[in-house]
Chain A
Amino acid sequence: MLIQILLISAVLVLMVFFLRNHGTTRTAAGVKIGFVLFILFGVLAVLQPDALTSIADAVGVGRGTDLLLYGLVVAFAFAMVNTYLRFKELELRHARLARAIAVQSAEPPALDDKVQEPGAGQDENQDKDEGTNVPTAS
């Protein structure tokens, strides 16, 4: 069936294109144009159900509504991928911002620390004291 070839190749081509070119101005514009075309397609489908049905017949789908459903599924999937990629980008920027703050306000160890080092036994004792404190603190 023609529709199967059309749908599968559309998905594959768009997927590859998306993953390669996401984030460029051109892709962003392409997504918007695609969105407008999809809306127009929706309006046409409502206004001219017969036209939709004849397109559906031409590509081998039984009814116009089925064609509409297929189109919707594909569009939805791409909207999801788009959102996912956008979130990933935001996450990375967010991480870089947080990292800059973290590194700026880093705390080097206390200065008297070197003196403490030989007396590891002292630390052990402190450990035990802290150990009893931890459960009550949390």
Chain B
Amino acid sequence: MSDYDDVWLIVPVYNEAQVIREVVQNARLTFPNIVCVDDGSRDASVSEIRQSGAHLVRHPVNLGQGASLQTGIEYARTQPGAKYFVTFDADGQHRVEDVVRMIDRLRKEPVDILVGTRFHGDTSHIPWIKRLVLKTVVALSPRTRRLKLTDAHNGLRAFNKTVADGLDITINGMGHASEIIAIIDRKSWRVAEEKVTIIYTEYSMAKGQSLINGVNILFDSALRGSRR
């Protein structure tokens, strides 16, 4: 039995066959419950997930990362005993020990959601252009600053059942990170940051979202809010 039986890792997967099995197996040494959401991958991701020991939920068509996260959350929150939830990237850029720290903190402190940040302490490992863009995004968002977040686009988040039940991500694509911040703000969840280290490998750099995609994110965010 593990101390982390009540924790679910949610891993959106899109064409990650090269790395996904290793990432899941490594995380499963600590966290027994992992759900991989395959977002219509065209490579061998699905069979790799099947052999990794993770739960597999497959989108019949490609929808986007935001949609995958929401699917994973909806699956995990109905599982018996699920209390804590973590969004975790498939490309191996997140460290399991960071997640352990976040979960331990969620158990102890009166916080609903912890968001990872790359910007506490030494930031020299972050490629400078990424640093510049991420800082600009934060500077442009009054909401992010008000919530005292320094890295709104970090994929590593840990949260409790309240947040899992209340999250309803409607932006299918990459704009979901800003949307999650907006939902946190609207629902007045208690949010805090946790210092995490992102492992920038050649693989994750190639897979990571391109900076030009920021244009799409800005556009989606600007035209949001019509549905409420």
Give residues in A with beta carbon < 8 Å to B.
18-20, 22-23, 81, 84-85, 88-89, 91-92, 94-95, 98-99, 101-103, 105-110, 113, 116-117, 120, 123, 126-127, 130, 134, 137-138
Q: Are B53 and A116 in contact (CB under 8 A)?
A: yes
Say yes or no for B150: interface residue by CB 8 A criterion.
no
Q: Are A106 and B170 in contact (CB under 8 A)?
A: no
Q: How far is the CA of A84 from the CA of B48 in the complex (A)?
A: 37
Q: Which of B1-58 contact A (CB under 8 A)?
A: 17-18, 21-22, 25, 28-29, 35, 37, 43-44, 48, 50-51, 53-58
Residue on A with the closest CB to B42?
Answer: A138
- Chain B, interface size category, equals 35 or more
Q: Are B172 and A99 in contact (CB under 8 A)?
A: no
Q: How far is the CB of B172 from chain A (nearest CB, A)?
A: 5
Which one of A18, A101, A106, A138 has the highest number of Cβ atoms from chain B below 10 Å of its Cβ?
A106
The one of B22, B29, B55 in contact with A127, judged by C-beta atoms closer than 8 angstroms, is B22
Q: Report the number of A-B residue pairs with Cβ-Cβ less than 8 Å.
A: 88
**21 A-B pairs whose Cβ atoms sit less than 8 Å apart in the complex:** A23-B226, A85-B226, A92-B172, A95-B63, A95-B70, A98-B60, A98-B63, A99-B63, A99-B70, A103-B75, A105-B58, A107-B58, A109-B54, A126-B51, A127-B22, A130-B48, A134-B17, A134-B18, A134-B44, A138-B17, A138-B44
Q: How far is the CA of A94 from the CA of B61 in the complex (A)?
A: 10
Q: How far is the CA of A134 from the CA of B17 in the complex (A)?
A: 8
Say yes or no for B225: interface residue by CB 8 A criterion.
yes
Q: Are B227 and A89 in contact (CB under 8 A)?
A: yes
Residue on B with the closest CB to A85?
Answer: B226
5 closest Cβ pairs, A-B complex: A107-B56, A22-B226, A95-B67, A106-B57, A113-B53
Q: Are A107 and B226 in contact (CB under 8 A)?
A: no
Q: How far is the CA of A91 from the CA of B63 in the complex (A)?
A: 9
Q: Are B55 and A91 in contact (CB under 8 A)?
A: no
Q: Are A109 and B61 in contact (CB under 8 A)?
A: no
Q: Are B57 and A103 in contact (CB under 8 A)?
A: yes
Say yes or no for B71: interface residue by CB 8 A criterion.
yes
Q: How far is the CB of A43 from chain B (nearest CB, A)?
A: 32
Q: How far is the CA of A9 from the CA of B70 in the complex (A)?
A: 39
Q: How far is the CA of A117 from the CA of B50 in the complex (A)?
A: 14
Say yes or no for B97: interface residue by CB 8 A criterion.
no
Say yes or no for B161: interface residue by CB 8 A criterion.
no
Q: Are B17 and A99 in contact (CB under 8 A)?
A: no
Set of chain B residues within 8 Å of A107, measured between Cβ atoms: 50, 55-58
Q: How far is the CA of A105 from the CA of B53 in the complex (A)?
A: 17
Say yes or no for B59: interface residue by CB 8 A criterion.
yes
Q: How far is the CA of A102 from the CA of B56 in the complex (A)?
A: 9
Q: How far is the CA of A95 from the CA of B37 in the complex (A)?
A: 13
The one of B18, B29, B37 in contact with A120, judged by C-beta atoms closer than 8 angstroms, is B29
Set of chain B residues within 8 Å of A81, measured between Cβ atoms: 223
Q: Are A85 and B223 in contact (CB under 8 A)?
A: yes
Q: How far is the CA of A117 from the CA of B25 in the complex (A)?
A: 9
Set of chain B residues within 8 Å of A92, measured between Cβ atoms: 170, 172, 227
Set of chain A residues within 8 Å of B21, measured between Cβ atoms: 127, 130
Q: How far is the CB of B188 from chain A (nearest CB, A)?
A: 23
Q: Are A84 and B223 in contact (CB under 8 A)?
A: yes
Say yes or no for B165: interface residue by CB 8 A criterion.
no
Set of chain A residues within 8 Å of B67, measured between Cβ atoms: 95, 98-99
Residue on A with the closest CB to B220?
Answer: A88
